[in-house]
Amino acid sequence: YAFDNAIVRRPASSVVNGLRAVDQGEPSLAGVEAEHSAYIQALEAAGVAVEVLPPLEAFPDSIFVEDPALVFPEGAVVLRPGAESRLGEAAEIAPVLRRRFERVLDLEAGYADGGDVLTTPDRILIGLSARTDQTGAEALVAALGRLGRKAEIVATPAGVLHFKSDCSLIDGDTVLSTARLAESGVFDRLGVLIVPEGEEAAANALRVNDVVLVGANYPRTADMLARHGYTVVPLSVIEIAKIDAGLSCMSLRW
Ligand code: CIR
């Protein structure tokens, strides 16, 4: 969670047509733009140099740059997003990564979304989901091995979009998680803080250097984190939540 750099992409006006599992109405474009700008400011305030990519009208969900790639200080992996409308985002992010990283690998088979990948200090957890299949997860384990990283394939609870919709690493050995994900036993080697009932979406938080970015509409989670000594920065996620997104999805960080 110590990051010097991040890549984000401005939302296109097509973002209002982003994928969603349940239609709770279109997000407002101005609202998404405001949430995205505040997010960039929060990353910069946390000490991160942010590269802002131009919007891609043809890809409504391309604001969620975390899904088509994985980045580490030692290199990057271009993934194959599992939603048909998002697969083309990989070719859009690849040249950016080739410019920023010396080593860029390509996922060679199957499908995998970055939203299903949780990097912890000793290993990387890859959650199988509707977007990340066994073939993609195995190809990703192989690619990560070439970058010198150990990875493990785990399950994502049914009905959860991405593994990281339900968890985030909040320090070197602690995850913030929903009860349903923690109960699956995937975090046996980590400490776990469970988000309060009714605030499940707050688990998609983001530790960046000294602060934890948390959805502003989850006050009980913010209180719990503060009580545990974390410095919380609340950010509005009301509009992006309408297209099933949270704080980790909107940047690539290293
Ligand atoms: C999608 O369904 O792909 C987008 N509407 C939301 C992606 C959110 N990304 C993430 O959880 N990593």
Q: What is the pLDDT of residues 78-106, one digit of tens each?
A: 999 999 999 999 999 999 999 999 999 99
Catalytic residue among 36, 162, 167, 228: 162
**Main-chain dihedrals φ then ψ at residue 144, nearest 5 degrees:** -65, -35
ipTM of the complex: 0.97
Cα(165) to ligand 1 centroid in Å equals 9
| Model confidence, pTM | 0.96
Residues framing ligand 1 (Cβ under 6 A): 18-20, 61, 64, 66-67, 83, 86, 115, 161-162, 164-165, 243-245, 249
pLDDT above 90 (res 24): no
* pLDDT the model gives residue 247: 97
Cα(87) to ligand 1 centroid in Å equals 13
Would you list the DSSP string of 196-226?
PTT-GGGGS-EEETTEEEEETT-HHHHHHHH
Residue range 6-15: mean pLDDT, rounded: 98
Ligand 1: which of 161, 162, 164, 166 to mutate, most ligand atoms within 8 Å of CB? 161
Cα(74) to ligand 1 centroid in Å equals 25
Question: Catalytic annotation on 167?
Answer: no
Residue with tokens 């719990």: 224
Three-point CA angle 72, 77, 79, nearest 5°? 135
Ligand 1: which of 61, 63, 163 to mutate, most ligand atoms within 8 Å of CB? 61
Q: Which atom of ligand 1 is nearest to the CA of 66?
A: 12
pLDDT above 90 (res 172): yes
Cα(246) to ligand 1 centroid in Å equals 8
Q: What is the pLDDT of residues 104-130, one digit of tens each?
A: 999 999 999 999 999 999 999 999 999
Q: Which atom of ligand 1 is nearest to the CA of 21?
A: 2
Residues paired with 70 in a beta bridge: 77
d(CA 18, CA 57): 11
d(CA 212, CA 11): 23
pLDDT above 90 (res 162): yes
Question: Catalytic annotation on 36?
Answer: no
d(CA 162, CA 125): 12
Nearest residue by C-alpha to atom 9 in ligand 1 = 249
Nearest residue by C-alpha to atom 8 in ligand 1 = 245
Would you list the DSSP string of 97-121?
HHHH-S-EEE--SS-B-GGGEEE-S
**Cα separations in angstroms, 92 against 98, 146, 149, 198, 199:** 11, 23, 25, 37, 34
Q: What is the pLDDT of residues 145-158, one digit of tens each?
A: 999 999 999 999 99
Per-residue buried b or exposed e for 133-163, using 16+ beta carbons within 10 Å of the residue's own CB: beebbbbbbebbeebebebebbebbeebbbb
Q: Are 221 and 196 in contact (CB under 8 A)?
A: yes
Q: What is the pLDDT of residues 239-249, one digit of tens each?
A: 999 999 999 99
* pLDDT the model gives residue 193: 98
Q: What is the pLDDT of residues 181-235, one digit of tens each?
A: 999 999 988 999 999 999 999 999 999 999 999 999 999 999 999 999 999 999 9
Q: Are 249 and 64 in contact (CB under 8 A)?
A: yes
Q: Are 136 and 82 in contact (CB under 8 A)?
A: yes
DSSP state of 228: T
